[in-house]
Amino acid sequence: MAQVIISTILVILLLVFIFARIENFPKIKKIIICILCALLIIAIVVYQFLVDQRSDMDRELVNSFDRGEKLICKWYEVENTKFNYVGGTKVFVGLDNFNDVKGAVISIKECRLK
């Protein structure tokens, strides 16, 4: 998260510095550009915070699943004896040897701890 924020701030500061050097640029436009840059920084920070928060929640769900705890996903009780977790797509896939979950594919976004 810090890398995204730092690089964004550096780019915006560079743009502000360039616009400040242009002498024939009206002062009101410079102020508007600075305000827009500040709003952009705030939006990026909020977005990154929300992404990190969701990632932490997903990680906690996967850790609980790996420990053998049950998760509630849609109308299924997901447990590691009947499902596999596929990390690349962040889904739980039902095992073929259990008819009640065979072929089930459940996104981790639809899950919560029991």
pLDDT tens readout for residues 38-97: 888 888 888 888 888 888 999 999 999 999 999 998 888 999 999 999 998 999 999 988
- pTM of the entire structure? 0.68
Q: Determine the 3-state secondary structure of 31 from DSSP.
A: helix
How high is the pLDDT of residue 28? Answer: 85
Average pLDDT rounded to a whole number, residues 22-43: 80
Q: Quick check: helix, strand or coil at residue 3?
A: helix
Separation of alpha carbons 76 and 89, rounded Å: 19
Q: Which of 90, 103, 95 is nearest to 79 (CA)?
A: 95
Domain ranges of the chain: 1-67, 70-114
